[in-house]
Amino acid sequence: MPDNLKKTKPLAVYFHWPYCKSKCPYCDFFKRVEKNVNQQEIIESYLADLSYYHKLTADRAVRSVFFGGGTPSLIEPQYIERLLRKISDLWKLEKNVEITLEANPNTHSKTLFNNLKNAGINRLSLGVQALNEQDLRFLGRTHNLKAALESIEDVLHTFDNNSIDLIYARPNQPLESWLSELETAASFGLKHLSLYQLTIEDGTVFFKKDIKALDEEKAAQMYVETVDFLRKNGYPRYEVSNFAPKPFESKHNKAYWLGDEYIGIGESAHGRLNVGGKFMAYVHPKKGEILSNQMRAQELLLMGLRLEEGIDKTRFENQVGINFDSFINQKNLKELVACGFLSNTAQNLKATDKGFLLLDAITQKLCF
């Protein structure tokens, strides 16, 4: 890293593009399904927001940029390029800045990925979700297996840094079937895999149809088998849902889990910034609220335990100004360690394999 960036705090930039061709029945994210979107008008608002946030973060260096959604592969590459040029005009960029875009196979064309690369994208995350026809239809995906495989091939050809998303614990999904999909996914030579357990959230189409996710015990066993299989095949877990060798861990997502600063741009986007010594939570459009030290500490605990490396206690104390051991419920901590859910040292607290199955319950016990 250049000398002038060594002491510069990192900053992550997130763009939320809420528009999709269709909405999947399991999705509870903020999304819009519209045919005629005035992209130029939206991009102009994004550019204005970048200028606003630059006034608060001019001394930071951008480590990562992420285009999420929604389906940001619907954005015309010329607008991606404009946004990235604006970022480079406003901020210093760290060496090897990571610039990710989420894409869906239903937007794939012969030129799209190459055009995105030319616009400045250097990491492509593809929303495949399933590797068989039946489950693609069940999940409401508007691409078939052939389109998924063609998109994966193009991603591998175009981007050195790449990832795919898959959803597991689908209703009545056999473990053997899922392991077969994992074996296929691992065979592609991708750098990163994101695997999400299907949950049925209130208000989704699946919820309204009373569709049930896989039995909790079976889903837990599926997760254990997943972690074991991927460890043996070159994809160690570094976060509860993310698997990659260290050079290809997502810099951007680690900013969230480590409690680094980031700005969020676009409808439903949010951010976290230290402004004038006060840690602020921002929501669209540019509305900031001070987070108390206690709220900030709870957030750091919740996010940090998702990481395989766990929580660095000194880092925690530097970020929030609270002694880690005084913040944690020590009685419950001792019980959780004794039961084999957590590993605790003077420097670090992290979940064990057993603990990763119960992270929500563990964080509740530690905070109260």
Give the per-residue SS3 of 229-242: HHHHCCCCEEECCE
* CA–CA separation, 46 and 196 (whole Å): 29
Retrieve residue 237's tokens. 């877990």
Name which residue leads in pLDDT, 199 or 308: 308
Residue with tokens 């088998």: 225
Where is 58: in which H helix or E strand? none
For 276-292, b where at least 16 C-beta lie within 10 A, e where not — what string? eeebbbbebeeeeeebe
DSSP lists the bridge partners of residue 281 as 272, 289
> Mean pLDDT over all residues of the chain?
94
Strands (E), the chain: 10-17, 19-20, 32-33, 61-69, 92-103, 123-129, 161-168, 192-197, 237-239, 242-243, 261-265, 270-275, 278-283, 287-290, 311-312, 342-344, 348-351
Domains of the chain (ranges; CATH) run 3-254 (3.20.20.70), 293-368 (1.10.10.920)
- pLDDT per position as a tens digit, 210-259: 998 899 999 999 999 999 999 999 999 999 999 999 999 999 999 999 99
pLDDT of the residue at 213: 87
SS3 content of the chain, % helix, strand, coil (to 5): 45, 25, 30
% of the chain residues with pLDDT over 70: 97
pLDDT of the residue at 4: 44
- pLDDT per position as a tens digit, 334-348: 999 999 999 999 999
Report whether 346 contacts 289 (CB < 8 A). Answer: no
* CA–CA separation, 100 and 173 (whole Å): 31
pTM score of the predicted model: 0.94
pLDDT of the residue at 32: 67
Q: What is the mean pLDDT of residues 286-291?
A: 96
- pLDDT per position as a tens digit, 53-111: 999 999 999 999 999 998 999 999 999 999 999 999 999 999 999 999 999 999 999 99
End-to-end, the C-alpha distance of the chain in Å comes to 41
* CA–CA separation, 164 and 94 (whole Å): 25
Strands (E), 198-246: 237-239, 242-243
Kindly indicate the confidence band of residue 306, based on its pLDDT and cuts at 50, 70 and 90.
very high
322 burial (CB, 10 Å; 0-12 / 13-18 / 19+) is middle
* CA–CA separation, 116 and 72 (whole Å): 11
- For 309, phi then psi, to 5°, come to -75, -15
% of the chain residues with pLDDT over 90: 86
Residue with tokens 């250097």: 122
- pLDDT per position as a tens digit, 96-137: 999 999 999 999 999 999 999 999 999 999 999 999 999 999
